[in-house]
Amino acid sequence: MKKYLLFCLLLSVIISACNNNENKSGHQEDKNSSSPTEKRELKGNFYKRLEGTIAGKPVVMNLQQLDGDLDGNYYYDGSWLNLSTDTLIGQDSLILSEYSFYTSYFDQNSKEPHLHLKWTGNGFKGNWTSGDESKSFPILLEEKYPEGSYQFTTGIYQDSVIAFTNKSGSPTAEITFEYLKATATDDSGNWLNEQLKKIDGLKASADREVSFKSIAAEYFKDYKSEIAEQQKESKNDDFEGWMNYTNSSQQTVLYNEKGFVIVDFLADAYTGGAHGNYSSSMYCLDVKNKKQLILSDVVKIDSNNLQKLLEKNLRKQYNIKPNDAISTVLFDDYLKPNKNFYFNSKGLAFMYNPYEVASYAQGQIVVFIPFNELKAYLVPSFAERIGAN
């Protein structure tokens, strides 16, 4: 028995050392260890695709963890519900906050529903609780990768530079890349990794670490030039108050099945002023046929009919009354389709970033069109594959 306990202790130390390993550049990546200890504990950097039920309804959840922060999304009968970390409890339990673009638009101070989850080794058990705690439903999820879905690891590259090395409280510039990496080494995995690099603005053959370091060096060079220019033009050091620059990007999986992977590339930057700016670009990757989808691969519909469907669902989802103009939400009294689309097994969505069709305060505008409203326009091969027939 003592030998067994000693062995367990030694194994724990080895695993802990491996998980805390980090190279000198600040680059971290999960190695997807399959040790028994990691199966019992929810730790490290990871991506997990989970299937199961919430309140008895079938759901698919994509969950990512990086440096202890979890975020993700899930869907069941329509658009995506987004998840962010609320509380981490030990190594195997957590509470996630749930929000949607629509609820955050209507009431930014509303109480969010929560998911209370306990890691079982290959999934989660727990409860969904409404914001006012009046309702609670069971959750049962299992990590699954059926044929046509793909496994990933998550990684991060971070670096920063100080504007004035000899000055206390000096402003800084920070740059961060949060990225995905397909674990498969076959043709599909290789193609996916090439696309993921391109999404980050890298060459398909590039080494991520070397490329991120090069991009960071150029960013810091520009920052130092801006500092020097401000010093020359300013009579005092007031400019330092808004010279804490940030530049970050994140890759997130929104859909991962039937040979499709949809990646949300979120870019966020602050370069002075009242607030920063951010935007999401959606990449619909057809891994089976090794191509990035365009809208005509999904639907064959003229822009006028698509615009009518967008405006109809905008009114429904953003609670715009029939007699009110949609300019109560948007800049204009119309909503045209853009190229920033994505989908799940239930429908097609269009993402509009801040200032694109509405003010910054409105946040991102997302309009979801159920497939049952698009049946006459769906490309037959896509409809069959996605299960929208």
Query: Looking at residue 99, what is its pLDDT?
Result: 87
Record the tokens describing residue 58, joined without a space.
Answer: 């079938």
pLDDT tens profile 376-386:
999 999 999 99
Please give the Cα distance from 136 to 130 (Å, whole number). 7
CATH 3.30.565.40 fits 152-292, yes or no: yes
Listed in sequence order, the DSSP H helices in the chain are 2-19, 36-40, 101-106, 187-199, 208-233, 303-317, 380-386
Domain boundaries, the chain: 1-38, 41-143, 152-292, 295-386
CATH 3.40.50 fits 41-143, yes or no: no
Query: Looking at residue 108, what is its pLDDT?
Result: 60
Which regions of the chain are under pLDDT 70?
1-40, 103-109
Record the tokens describing residue 129, joined without a space.
Answer: 């609780």
| CA-angle at 189, arms to 205 and 147, nearest 5° | 165
Given the structure tokens 């930014």, which residue do they identify?
108
Please give the Cα distance from 101 to 109 (Å, whole number). 13
| CA-angle at 260, arms to 255 and 341, nearest 5° | 65
Give the β-pairing of 245-257 and 172-182. parallel
Give the β-pairing of 277-286 and 347-352. unpaired
Find all residues with CB under 8 Å of 99, minimum gap 6, and list them.
81, 82, 84, 112
| CATH topology match: 41-143 vs 152-292 | no
Given the structure tokens 């993921």, which residue do they identify?
196
Strand partners for 266: 250, 280
pLDDT tens profile 48-72:
999 999 988 999 999 999 988 889 9
CATH 3.90.1150.10 fits 295-386, yes or no: no
Record the tokens describing residue 272, joined without a space.
Answer: 């002075």
